């Protein structure tokens, strides 16, 4: 099945992340920022203002040009501490026909000014409320300080983008085996991560409070699946051990041509995150 995703970056951080999707097929990349670096993708150069109110009040109608061909699934990357993020709701109002997922890059608050912290808190909480109300499909939270525990600075953005890309890809593929139950309609505040199941190690990109649901994507070499008759049984046992009264588990097993095996995770909550 062919992928057809739209990716929108808002601000410096959002645009850094969406640029990395350019090496994968099936993504149409859009960027909104005060500066334009390269012209490979569709850009909108936004004027510089001094206050968040000015940014919000001066959002133009972009439907007839910048957003003229945008539809379907849309992932929006941003860091709410950037003042330009004030435009987010008014921009997305123009493309509300899309199935919008917010990818929120939570900054390290240690080095932010009081104004930046206030900006972050407003955008972060307002977007979560809009997700919970059903305006947006989901919000995926990526905590910069959490990911720094696993990867060096050069690897952080790449691992986030590669993980989301693989989850998007396998969501369109038919698994060899799956255990799926639709548990909750309201688990829309999410994060993603990676796992090494042989070493029982999981790397979540944000510590989700009140997690209700977890999805595992096992991407396993197809020859291993054919030759190891106990593999599916072992996966099932590991997943059983993770189920509790508070946490529900779904998992999917996909054969691949990769020499190495990979596991990706989506964690889901219905609660506003701090």
Q: What is the pLDDT of residues 163-215, one digit of tens each?
A: 999 999 999 999 999 999 988 989 999 999 999 988 889 999 999 999 999 99
Q: What is the DSSP string of 196-227?
A: ETTTTEEEESS--TTEEEEEEEEEEEHHHHHH
The lowest-confidence range among 41-45, 114-118, 191-195 is 41-45
Question: What integer pLDDT is reported at residue 199 of this predicted model?
Answer: 84
Q: Is the pLDDT of residue 40 over 80?
A: no
Asked if 261 and 218 count as a contact pair (C-beta separation under 8 A), the reply is: yes
- pLDDT value of position 116: 98
Q: What percent of the chain has pLDDT over 90?
A: 92
Compute, in degrees rounded to 10, the torsion defined by CA atoms 200, 203, 207, 211: -50
Pick from 28-42, 126-140, 204-218: least confident = 28-42
Task: Please report, for the chain, the start and end positions of each structural domain, with discontinuous segments joined by +.
Answer: 5-136, 177-269
Window from 27-41, 79-93, 182-196 with minimum mean pLDDT: 27-41
pLDDT band at 268 (very low <50, low <70, confident <90, very high): very high
Provide the CATH number for the domain formed by 5-136 in this structure: 3.40.50.1440
CB 147 within 8 A of CB 105: no
pTM of the model: 0.96
What is the CATH class of 177-269? alpha beta
Angle 153-171/11-19 helices, nearest 10 degrees?
Answer: 60
Residue 49 pLDDT exceeds 90:
yes
């Amino acid at each position: 099945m062919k992928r057809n995703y739209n990716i929108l970056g808002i601000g410096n951080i959002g645009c850094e992340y969406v640029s990395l999707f350019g090496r994968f097929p099936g993504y149409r990349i859009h960027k909104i920022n005060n500066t334009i670096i390269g012209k490979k993708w569709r850009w909108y150069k936004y004027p510089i203002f001094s206050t968040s109110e000015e940014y919000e009040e001066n959002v133009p109608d972009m439907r007839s040009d910048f957003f003229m061909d945008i539809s379907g699934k849309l992932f929006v990357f941003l860091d709410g501490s950037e003042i330009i993020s004030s435009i987010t709701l008014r921009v997305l109002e123009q493309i509300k026909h899309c199935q919008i997922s917010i990818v929120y890059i939570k900054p390290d608050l240690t080095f932010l000014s009081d104004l930046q912290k206030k900006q972050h808190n407003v955008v972060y909480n307002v977007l979560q409320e809009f997700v919970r109300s059903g305006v947006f499909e989901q919000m995926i939270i990526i905590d910069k300080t959490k990911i720094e525990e696993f990867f060096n600075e050069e690897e952080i953005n790449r691992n986030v983008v590669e993980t989301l890309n693989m989850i998007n890809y396998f969501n369109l593929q038919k698994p060899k085996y799956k255990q799926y139950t639709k548990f909750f309609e309201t688990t829309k505040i999410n994060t993603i991560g990676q796992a090494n199941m042989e070493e029982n190690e999981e790397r979540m990109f944000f510590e989700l409070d009140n997690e209700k649901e977890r999805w595992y994507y096992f991407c396993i070499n197809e020859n291993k699946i054919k030759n190891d008759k106990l593999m599916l049984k072992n996966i099932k046992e590991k997943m059983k051990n993770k189920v509790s009264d508070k946490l529900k588990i779904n998992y999917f097993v996909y054969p691949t041509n990769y020499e190495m095996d990979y596991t990706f995770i989506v964690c889901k909550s219905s609660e506003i995150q701090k």
